Amino acid sequence: MVTTQKVLVARLGDEQWSQLLTCSAGGRGSIVRQTAVRTGTVVVAVSGSPGLVDARVHEAVARATGARSTER
């Protein structure tokens, strides 16, 4: 079974979107966060554990657009 929940994401570009996917089967479960950011003609999609996506999405957008990340 897979359920989805739309969640907020920091304003990083012209458009942004994020969701949490909760997957469960056989009594086991996992949560994956998917975040997409559009800046001009560049779209960056990051998927993985919620904490890592939150920690790395700024850096991914900065690298994809050639900007320097100011967050550490």
* Structure confidence by residue, pLDDT tens digits, 1-39: 999 999 998 899 999 999 999 999 999 999 999 999 999
CA-CA distance, 55 to 66, in Å (whole number)?
A: 18
Residue 11 located in a structural domain: yes
| Residue 32 bridge partners (DSSP) | 21
Residue 31 located in a structural domain: yes
Residue 56 located in a structural domain: yes
| Enclosing domain of residue 55 | 2-65
Provide the CB-side half-sphere exposure for 39 (13 A, CA): 16
Is the pTM above the cut of 0.85?
Answer: no
Residue 55 located in a structural domain: yes
Number of domains into which the chain is organized: 1
Is 66 a residue whose pLDDT tops 90? no
Between CA 49 and CA 55, with CA 50 as vertex, the angle to 5 degrees is 100
Residue 71 located in a structural domain: no
The whole-number average pLDDT for the span 50-58 is: 94
Q: What is the pLDDT of residue 68?
A: 55
